[in-house]
Structure 1
Amino acid sequence: MKVGCIGLGDIAEKAYLPVLGALPGVDLHLQTRTPATLARVADRLHLPAGQRHPDLDALLAQDLDAAFVHAPTPVHPEIVTRLLRAGVPTYVDKPLAYQLADSRRLVELAEQREVSLAVGFNRRHAPGYAQCAEHPRELILMQKNRVGLPEHPRTMILDDFIHVVDTLRFLVPGPVDDVTVRARTESGLLHHVVLQLAGDGFTALGVMNRLSGSAEEILEISGQDTKRQVRNLSEVVDHKGQPTLRRRGDWVPVARQRGIEQAALAFLDAVRAGKVLSARDALATHELCERVVAAVEDGPRAA
């Protein structure tokens, strides 16, 4: 199975390549426009010259069975379009694109060509989060905070807050009939944003503070006198009377803890089985993010 990896930045090198490089039966091909990076990463994976490609044309000439795109977001539309038109099942690191029109066009192109398109929402596969879908979820609260990183609204929401948005969509137990956004911006930079999704019998809150006292990610779900808290995707605390704590095992890889390994394997399993994956649900997350961007940019400067 020939699998291409386009873009060799931190997310590819630290999370995806350790998984892909260890899979039996996978003929891994790398592509980046930076020769030094290509040589360094390929050398570490012991890949021959025929599996190192300086441009997308050379990579597409390999008749790929699947591709992973980890290039910078601004070039996603161009790269993904070429892959889909070549009939290559494609997995894209989130977001599909910064502009909703581009994201819609890519999803429609994949459907027209009947080619798989998947978006890397790895938290749906992270064990601590996936198991939350089995618990009562009358109230859902997710925080993903950073220190000293206010940013332009569209970039922050599509690059980072999108994980919060998608996780809430994944965990809400029913249709959402109310969406509320509150935010604070200063000098054009987004300091914090709060998204509330509500429906029959549930409320979900997503919070991101870019001027927090620490970098942290905390998910809490509660209902029917039970509560589960997941801290930084590695510690799970269940509350029912007395709290019980479970930590990630010492030998559990970070890529597995964060759901990246499972997401990549699920995509490749579907490709092997000839199953066409749709990014239509991922597009719904992008559409909700666009609503958040609009609310932040059009709303009051402080909330």
Structure 2
Amino acid sequence: MKLAIIGLGNIAQKAYLPVITQIPGLDLLFCTRDKNTLKKLSQLYRIEQLYSDYRALIKAEVDAVMIHSSTASHREIATFFLQQGIPTFVDKPLADNAFDCERLYELAAKHQQPLYLGFNRRFIPLYNQYLPALQNTQEHSSLLSLRWEKNRFNQAGDIRSFIFDDFIHPLDSVNLNAKNNLDDVYLTWQFKGQQLARLDVQWQQQNTLLHASMNRVYGMTKERISGSYENCAFEFDSFVSGKCWQDNQESVITLPDWTPMLTGKGFTAMIDDWLGVVEKGKLAPLVVERNLATHQLAELICRKILG
């Protein structure tokens, strides 16, 4: 498979390249406008096919592309490759507004190509082992509550970038049923000056209470996930360990020793899933529905806060 990586910034270097470059059978092409980065990474990973303009990748007859550039560039680049009939992966968010997301999925449907979004938290192995509802919506009926809390130190920010670039992770992680409206949603927020500092979104889906939370004026950068079933509860304060309370007893749960960090964070399984989607040539309708719904819900939250 000839796979082009477009955008070689921080997230690509930290989370994707260490995994992708170890997968056999991939013929990789690197693309970025930063010549120094292109040279450095081509030497590090021994990649010979290098491009500074993503449009030139068409001549290379790539089988698929992965877009890791800035959010503002996602619509333009994804549009180009979908129109060429090429499977496309985009780091979350797909765009910073729901309208562009909807147009891109309409374009993907028109050209019958998968448009995949990089929500790695859907694939964290420790969470999915003990909270199977996160990946299998048919398993969620017995889930009583799910709270996903993602906090940062001293990073209050612009409303739209706060929600689409960061808060979208906990929001999507609790959006198990692809909710795309604010009906029966309890929404609270706080500002620090003119910047958004905290946001909490909570609703109930049948018997399950769902809560996404982000505080960007917290004491430290930290993520915490908790879920409960009848007489059984779990809490995770990292991607590799947590606690279980059951039968009135507490136990510690962990990933196996020597589990690679990026596997623990879900990137390995997500990339494997993406490559499987490319091979099949299509993305499951329920995944498309959830991808769209999360962005639509984020848009409504933005508008609510902006008044």
In the alignment, which residue of structure 1 is the partner of 2:44?
A: 44
**Counterpart in the other structure of 1:271:** 278
Residues 191-216 of structure 1 deviation map (CA, whole Å, 9 limit, x = unaligned): 10000021322211111000111111
Which residue is 1:301 aligned to? Answer: none
What does residue 136 of structure 2 align with? none
Whether 1:260 aligns to 2:267 is: yes
2:164 corresponds to which residue? 158
Q: Distance in 1 between matches of 2:276 and 2:208?
A: 34
Q: How does 1:158-197 map to 2 (within 5 A)?
A: 158-170=164-176, 178-197=184-203
Query: Who is 2:296 aligned against?
Result: 287
The range that moved more, 1-10 or 121-130, is: 121-130
**Segment of structure 1 superposing worse, 90-99 or 181-190:** 181-190
Distance 1:262 1:164, change over 3 A: same
Is the deviation greater in 121-130 or in 161-170? Answer: 121-130
Q: What is the one-letter code of the residue matched to 1:82?
A: F
Give a deviation string over 1:88-117, Cα, whole Å, max 9, x none: 101110001112111111011001110010
1:2 — aligned with what? Answer: 2
Match of 2:253 among 237, 246, 270: 246
| Distance of 2:229 and 2:182 partners within structure 1 | 18
Q: Which amino acid aligns with 1:254?
A: M
Identity, % of aligned pairs? 34
Q: Secondary structure at the match of 1:128?
A: helix
Partner of 2:70: 72
Would the aligned equivalents of 2:198 and 2:216 in 1 still touch at CA under 8 Å? Answer: yes
TM-score, structure 1 length as denominator? 0.92
Runs (4+) of structure 1 exceeding 6 A deviation are: none
Secondary structure class of the residue paired with 2:271: helix
How much has 1:177 moved relative to structure 2?
5.7
Unaligned runs of 5+ in 2: 134-138
Q: What is the distance in 2 between the residues matched to 1:63 and 1:262?
A: 26
Contact 2:113 / 2:282 at 8 angstroms: preserved in 1?
no
Q: Distance in 1 between matches of 2:13 and 2:50?
A: 15
C-alpha separation in 2, matches of 1:250 and 1:103: 40
Shift of 1:12: 0.8
Matches within 5 A, 1:1-303: 1-48=1-48, 51-131=49-129, 132=131, 133=133, 136-170=142-176, 178-240=184-246, 241-277=248-284, 279-298=288-307
Q: 1:214 & 1:250 partners in 2: Cα distance?
A: 26
Shift of 1:249: 3.8
Tell me, yes or no, if the aligned pair for 1:177 and 1:198 is still in contact at 8 Å. Answer: no
Give the secondary-structure state (helix, strand or coil) at the position aligned to 1:61: helix
3-state SS, counterpart of residue 60 of structure 2? coil
CA 1:286/1:67 → structure 2, altered by over 3 Å: closer, same or farther? Answer: same
Asked whether the equivalents of residues 107 and 280 of structure 1 are also in contact (C-alpha less than 8 Å), the reply is no
Instruction: Say if 2:177 and 2:290, in contact at 8 Å, map to a contact too.
Output: no
Task: Tell me how large the CA RMSD over aligned residues is.
Answer: 1.9
Give, in whole Å, the separation in 1 of the partners of 2:52 and 2:205: 49
How many residues in Structure 1 have an aligned counterpart in Structure 2?
Answer: 295
